[in-house]
Amino acid sequence: MDMERKEEIIQATLMLASKNGIDNVSMSQIAM
């Protein structure tokens, strides 16, 4: 997976996380 694609996924994940109120621990797990 190239970096640009990963950035898109991270951005989408952050948007979903903010909508769903996911806490920092969950975000750290997703980042891994």
Question: Total domain count for the chain?
Answer: 1
pLDDT value at position 6?
92
Task: Confirm whether pTM is higher than 0.85.
Answer: no
Q: Which residues contact 27 (CB under 8 A, 6 or more apart)?
A: 13, 14, 17
pLDDT value at position 2?
85
Q: Which residues contact 31 (CB under 8 A, 6 or more apart)?
A: 10
pLDDT value at position 15?
84
* Domain extent at residue 11: 1-15+23-32
Question: Is the Cβ–Cβ distance between 17 and 26 less than 8 Å?
Answer: yes
pLDDT value at position 3?
85
15-to-11, 18, 19 alpha-carbon distances in Å: 6, 5, 6
Instruction: Provide the residue-wise pLDDT of the chain in tens; the chain has 32 residues.
Output: 688 999 999 898 888 877 776 666 666 676 66
